[in-house]
Amino acid sequence: MDGYLDFRRSITSVRLMVDYGIEHGVAIGELLEGSQISPALLMNPNTEITASQELQVIWNLVDTFDDVEPVARDIGQRYHCSAYGLWGYGLMCSATAGDALRLALRFLPLTYAYTVISYHEENGLGILDFGEPQLDCRLKQFVVARDMAAAIVLMQELVGESFEVTEASHNTFAFSREQLSRKLPQANPVTAELCEQQCRALMEQRRSSAGAQAIVVHYLQNSGARMPTLTAAARHLHMSERTLKRHLQAEGISFRQLLERVRKDRAERLLNQGALSISEIADRLGFSDASTFSQAFKRWTGTAPSYWAGK
């Protein structure tokens, strides 16, 4: 499984989904079947599970409903700030909605998201994109709808019910960028800094088990419009370039290979969405011009981006 999906995660998300299933007449044994999660583990707040265990529970849940997306949206609305523990508390204590969003994206592996969430700005709008993970169709439908609903709930809880969201395009939603400057009612700079430090420590703990590759992929996937350099990545991860290179080399991969992989995935996603021209995509991915991007894309896939966009 790619990127930060290798990170272990809290049991809380599974508990929210199991509660929903039970409320709708599904037996707990049916919901937990094949996940290796017992009812006792489910009730232990210190339990950490793998992505595959949670995906098994999601599969069991969606298998009992005909229409996946309404169920996913209903469940997503249960993911309040309190469901995320330290990460959620850090958002609440941030100075502004923009600070909270930056913290959220920086420590995204500490959440329950399966989509690749990235942020960019266009024409005065802030746009969150929820890239589809490579999962079974019904699982994919569920996690995209759930993650989007959960993100809207978080923004409304942080900023207030007046936070306005508009649908932008496929798997995205947009809002006025001005809303990010709003001061949060529970802002506390000392507590926010403490939460950030503890989130960083927890990320490092989980990175150690997931490997350097997972954390670098996560950083690249959430780097915004421009692809970062090795220097920027090392600085973000609080290590020297040499140390980062050594960690990746020990896992049999280089920073350049990871950068190319993330660029390729993002290029395919943007071409499939059809909202941007090839020149705009080239700029978004940090290429000097459309020609350079086209050459790289053909090297990655064997086809020109114009062919891919026309499929």
Which mean pLDDT values do the consecutive 10-residue runs of the chain (311 residues) have?
A: 63 97 96 95 91 93 94 97 95 96 90 87 90 84 95 92 78 92 94 94 74 78 70 78 89 91 88 86 87 92 80 57
Q: What is the pLDDT of residue 70?
A: 96
- In this prediction, residue 284 carries a pLDDT of 83
Superfamily holding 216-311: Homeodomain-like (1.10.10.60)
Q: What are phi and psi for residue 118, nearest 5 degrees?
A: -135, 160
C-alpha span between 36 and 233 (Å, rounded) = 36
- DSSP letter at 66? S
Question: What CATH class is the domain 3-181?
Answer: alpha beta
* pLDDT for position 269: 84
Domain with CATH 3.90.1520 in the chain: 3-181
CA 141-40-111 angle, 5° bins: 40
How far apart are the C-alpha atoms of 136 and 59, rounded to whole Å? 9
